[in-house]
Amino acid sequence: MEEIHTNIDKIETTWAEAVKNNDGNFAGKLNKKVEDLFDKMTAALEEAKTANTTTRMVSAIEDFLFKGDLKKKHIDGCILWLLLWSAAGLKHETSQTSGADEAIFGMVMERYPYMAFDNPSYSKLKFKEPGSYKSIKDQCPIEAKEWIEWRQGHHFHQKLEGTPFHRAAKKGKSAIIRLIRSSLAKIEESHHGPIYALIQGEDPSKQRTTALQQVIHARHGSVATLGELLAFECLAASPDLDKIFADAVEVGTENIVDVFLTQDNLKKRFAKSDNILKAMRKAKGSLEVGQQYLRIVKKLIDLIPPEETLADEVIETIIEQQAMGERDQTQGSVASSKEQLGWIDIWKAAHARPTSISTEVKSKLLHLAVYYQSLALVTEFLQHPRYSKSVAHQVQLLKTSNQGDISAQNPHYPLWYHNNNAWIKGSAWKNQDISSKIRSMLVYSTVRQAKKMRDLSEIFYKSDQFVRELCLDLSHFNSKLHRVSSFVDSFIYHSQNDSLLSYEETLRYVEFPALDLKVDDRETFGDNNHLSVQHTEVFRLLTWLQEKMHVRHIIQLKVPDRLINPHNENCIASSPAAKGKTNADTDSMKAKEKIKELHLYSSGKRAVIDHWLSDEGIPTLTKASVSTFYPLKNSIDILSHSVANNGCPRETVTEEYCKELIPFVFNGLNAMKARHSDRPTCNFNLNYSTVDSMFWNPTHTLVDLNEIAHKVTPRLAKFLKSLGEYIPRREGQTQKILRRTRVAIIDNGVLSITPRPDDTAGGGQNKESSKHEDNEPIRTPGTKESFSVSSARESSSSTAFHESQSHDTSGRRRLSSRIKKGRSFVDEGSKLYPWHLASDPHGTQMANLICAMDPFCELYVARVAEGKYGITPDRVARVDIISMSIALLDKGNEMQHWVHKAKEKGVVIVCSTHDEGTRSLTSYPAEWKPGLIITSCDEYGRLLHNIDNSKYDFAVQGHNVSAGVIPFIESSDSITGSSVSTALIAGLGSLILTCHKVAHLEAQQPETTSIDLESSEIFPYAEGQLQMVETHLKSMVAEGTRHVVLERFGKIDSTTKQGDNVYADKVLKESFHMRDAISKD
């Protein structure tokens, strides 16, 4: 108590000394005198705090300031205002403050709450009610006469800037601002308007700045003080807030941003996409430098209101910057840290709020990730159940990403953006490893997502994407007449020696034919049969796909296995397919945890059915979601329905027994479902169906293109042999490589598989061997890790006939060596019939004839039909053509458009008339007269069918023409029809173009256009080529007819005697105007 009296005495003494002399310096020193008084008070309060007597000291100071004869004490409104002004700015706020200045400020504000908003020199408090509040200047008790003239109106002549409120904001005194805000409750509500106007407005001094603008520049306590200011409801509408927040974001002042975002009434205002984008632009580049900006971005995204969605540019920027971060890490320019915030974390924050990303943008996420080449996000999106579906949808990128890229302004598939990436091209950066991984994942997901094979083919086609084979379908092989194991070995042997064929890492399906339909090879149970042969043909093919073709995934594998002595179950469980498949059709499978879809084919044995319907059967398949049971009926051709009957012999089940079996299975399925109603794997379906198929038939005759040429036209064959010897000499003379004539053939595909050498001798018993033809051991499952990631894949299929091997006559003898590329357009729902595994000989024989006429051409195969009569306009319209040995009765507008477009570009189009002659009035595309229309005749020029002269341009022999027997397909060497004549003219036209190129090889220009069956425009020839071909053909017709005589090519019939050699250089010089022909030796 004594200490309190002592301190109060000091305060009173100090103030009495200050005011006892009203001399000329008093006014000038008043501010300093009040500051001294304020210091004494704060010192006393600090001592009292130490002695735990603060309350009594506060009461003693209040008595001094507000009680007694205040006029005698010279304490009035001016003095009290100066105390407020001092408390608001003399000390900055620190963690060790005693709170003395707040205590003094609070004493005054409790009695005079208006003073915090006043200034004797710049008072702006104006109230409508007279006498509501007298300003400091107006209430000063000192009469003017007591002061010298220049000090009129108030105690002090010095103009002090700002109000205590503004001074506290400028000095960062958050506690003072808090006291001021609480004192508003003591001011009449009707007076709040002027007070709010002053809080929102400028400091009534020469600085002309608001409290919000002042607090930002405070040296200390600005953040806490800003928080107190933002608690004033009247400041929520201040325009200063936008600039302050924007500046804080711009310079990365994270604590100021935090203050704004802790105010409930301001979150919605500032958690907006424009502020997020500002921080994102500053965060671009180094993660180390941009950490504070990334934290700001994440905080803003976390506070996005539920009804708000992020701007498209925000999402795209996240994806772009994530990709750039991956690029920097790959190049080693930056090392990431687990403690650092990354763009992937920003994405997770955005994605965590379901409504923050619009539905439209969600549909484009995968496309954007592919466009910017973000491996991490592509991986995440493809694993997402919703986003992964967009792999099979075309969308247009956002406006920001396709600026300047006209092609990207149209909708495309993700694969298209992978191949046509303006962003990567513009940045002069592309990581081949990342690009390869992204493509591999896209292909895998696309193969899985596309519902139909036609859709799958279209996606690759419209994505300008080179695509390898997507399936391996051997189901049409006729295993009744030929061993599957022999064909598998021949297929592998042929493919290993032909680099044309390649497969994607992911195959939609691999399907085998029924394995035991060949009657004389079928194994049976018996006393003398030891079943000593272990079958491995399926494993050999799967191992070949894995090791040689680098296949990693097979979505669906279908193997109709043998009823007796099937493939080893343990080997099946450890096979490449079991480790990578999604679906499986087989009789038995031990790898139960891997099966997702199961199809059961029953031969009628009730013990087997009872096992599957027991608790140890179907219910143990924990992951199977769709299952189908096929009880098989007896029919006259049951053995032909290999897809449905799983190789089941006809005699195992009768029609009557099958009818009895169906209700037995039905009741058993219902009972099983009742026992395991909670198991989705028990949702089996009962199916009763058969499937029709076309089959291959065996032959062991190798097709030799030279022999075909000799059979068709012996003299021309001699010329072709001489031309083959002459071309390399001509190339050496001109120092140029001959650019091959390219022929696109549209038909039902080809089958050009060379049987294994030990299969060509007559088809002896080819039991399962332990070695391949090349003496490599056959790998059985379990000997090597199956379907591991391959680090090396060929970027494109290799050309079977390299330019440097142009003189290799052995290569010209095989059709497969002439094929450059192929594509199939034949699909049946989930199946696609490969272009190189035709089940009808028509397309292969047409290809043989074309290449026999010009063994130097390059052949492009488009399969548009399964059999001979399955060609439809919508399929044909997908390719540009050279040879069309087809005649359609229905036209298609799209096909007509492409045919005319090809004609305008000078493509040599050769098409056939209909073989029905006058009974068919019109056929297409011949009706459109796109180029050369060909009909057939016999060797004497007599038309095989009655046809109007206006319906064709040329006739050529098409009766009993040798086209070769096709291996593994039932076929005849001699064939007849307009399609035969068309193929011959197409080959002859190709030869005319080849001879012209050889004759003028020195003038050959670099190629600017290439044929690609994946491209929508296939126009390799310049205008004038059609006229050249037509002119030569006219020179070959018999007098007075349109019958083209093949042996009149190059006038060899008139310049060469029968049996003599034909010299290519002589023909080129006389018929193709070669100036510098090389003479024969």
437: number of Cβ within 10 Å: 16
Q: Residues 860-870: what's their mean pLDDT?
A: 65
pLDDT at 344 over 70: yes
Q: Residues 1000-1015: what's their mean pLDDT?
A: 60
**Owner of token pair 């092609």:** 407
As beta bridge partners, residue 686 has 629
Question: How many whole angstroms separate alpha carbon 662 and alpha carbon 79?
Answer: 108
User: What is the model's pLDDT at position 982?
Assistant: 93
pLDDT at 583 over 80: no
Tokens of 972: 């005849």
pLDDT at 336 over 60: no
Minimum mean pLDDT range among 194-208, 611-625, 1045-1059: 611-625
Tokens of 981: 């004549």
Question: How many whole angstroms separate alpha carbon 547 and alpha carbon 779?
Answer: 10
Q: Which alpha helices (DSSP H) does 774-864 contain, by range?
A: 809-812, 842-853
Question: How many whole angstroms separate alpha carbon 800 and alpha carbon 836?
Answer: 14
**Higher-confidence residue: 143 or 61?**
61
**Higher-confidence residue: 527 or 509?**
509
User: What is the model's pLDDT at position 1007?
Assistant: 56
For residue 120, say if its preceding peptide bond is cis, omega within 30 degrees of 0: no
Question: Residue 112 in 3-state DSSP?
Answer: coil
User: What is the model's pLDDT at position 501?
Assistant: 78
User: What is the model's pLDDT at position 678?
Assistant: 73
The fold for domain 705-754+814-1066 equals: Rossmann fold (3.40.50)
pLDDT at 695 over 60: no
| Side chain identity at residue 163, one-letter code | T
What one-character-per-residue DSSP string does 1020-1049 give?
-SPTTHHHHHHHHHHTTBPTTS-BB-GGGG
User: What is the model's pLDDT at position 285?
Assistant: 67
Q: Tell me the per-residue pLDDT of 880-893, one tens digit each, with 9 for 90 and over.
A: 357 887 766 666 65
pLDDT at 1018 over 50: no
Question: Which of 82-96, 410-424, 851-865, 866-880 has maximum average pLDDT?
Answer: 851-865
Question: Which of 22-36, 433-447, 559-573, 578-592 has maximum average pLDDT?
Answer: 433-447
Contacts of 381 (CB under 8 A, 6+ apart): 365, 366, 369, 387, 388, 390
Cα dihedral 412, 414, 419, 423 sign? positive
User: What is the model's pLDDT at position 805?
Assistant: 38
Sequence spans of domains, the chain: 2-235, 291-462, 596-694, 705-754+814-1066
User: What is the model's pLDDT at position 851?
Assistant: 92
Q: Quick one: pLDDT band at residue 747, thresholds 50, 70, 90?
A: confident
User: What is the model's pLDDT at position 556?
Assistant: 85
Q: Tell me the per-residue pLDDT of 193-239, one tens digit each, with 9 for 90 and over.
A: 888 888 888 887 766 788 888 888 888 888 999 999 999 988 888 88
User: What is the model's pLDDT at position 1076?
Assistant: 64
Maximum CA extent, the chain: 149
Q: Quick one: pLDDT band at residue 653, thresholds 50, 70, 90?
A: low
Minimum mean pLDDT range among 536-545, 720-729, 781-790: 781-790
User: What is the model's pLDDT at position 30?
Assistant: 75
User: What is the model's pLDDT at position 729?
Assistant: 92
Q: Quick one: pLDDT band at residue 692, thresholds 50, 70, 90?
A: very low
What one-character-per-residue DSSP string does 623-691 give?
T--EEEEEEPPP-TTGGG-HHHHTT--GGG--HHHHHHHHHHHHHHHHHHHHHTTT-GGG-EEE-----
User: What is the model's pLDDT at position 1037?
Assistant: 93
User: What is the model's pLDDT at position 1043?
Assistant: 94
pLDDT at 508 over 80: yes
User: What is the model's pLDDT at position 5?
Assistant: 81
Q: Quick one: pLDDT band at residue 301, thresholds 50, 70, 90?
A: very high
Tokens of 28: 């000038």
Q: Quick one: pLDDT band at residue 314, thresholds 50, 70, 90?
A: very high
User: What is the model's pLDDT at position 274?
Assistant: 92
pLDDT at 765 over 90: no
pLDDT at 637 over 50: no
pLDDT at 1019 over 50: no
Q: Rg (Cα) of the chain, in Å, rounded?
A: 46
Q: Tell me the per-residue pLDDT of 357-374, one tens digit each, with 9 for 90 and over.
A: 988 899 999 999 999 889
**Higher-confidence residue: 72 or 367?**
367
Question: Which of 164-178, 426-440, 654-668, 753-767 has maximum average pLDDT?
Answer: 164-178
Q: Residues 462-475: what's their mean pLDDT?
A: 82
User: What is the model's pLDDT at position 1054?
Assistant: 85
pLDDT at 684 over 70: no
CB contact at 8 A, 70 and 20: no
Q: Residues 287-306: what's their mean pLDDT?
A: 86
Tokens of 400: 């920001």
Q: Residues 1007-1029: what's their mean pLDDT?
A: 52
Question: Which of 100-104, 157-161, 541-545, 983-987 has maximum average pLDDT?
Answer: 983-987
User: What is the model's pLDDT at position 1079?
Assistant: 47
User: What is the model's pLDDT at position 763?
Assistant: 38
Q: Quick one: pLDDT band at residue 995, thresholds 50, 70, 90?
A: very high
Q: Which helix (H) or strand (E) holds 807?
A: none
| Side chain identity at residue 272, one-letter code | K
Q: Quick one: pLDDT band at residue 498, thresholds 50, 70, 90?
A: low
Minimum mean pLDDT range among 823-837, 849-863, 968-982: 823-837
User: What is the model's pLDDT at position 888?
Assistant: 67
Question: Average pLDDT, whole number, for the chain?
Answer: 75
User: What is the model's pLDDT at position 306?
Assistant: 83
Question: Residue 870 in 3-state DSSP?
Answer: coil
Distances (CA, A) of 304 to 246, 354, 635, 735, 917: 17, 11, 68, 69, 74
Q: Tell me the per-residue pLDDT of 411-433, one tens digit each, with 9 for 90 and over.
A: 899 998 888 766 665 555 567 78
Q: Could you write out the three-class secondary structure of 242-294?
A: HHHHHHHHHHCCHHHHHHHHCCHHHHHHHCCHHHHHHHHHHHCCCCCCCHHHH
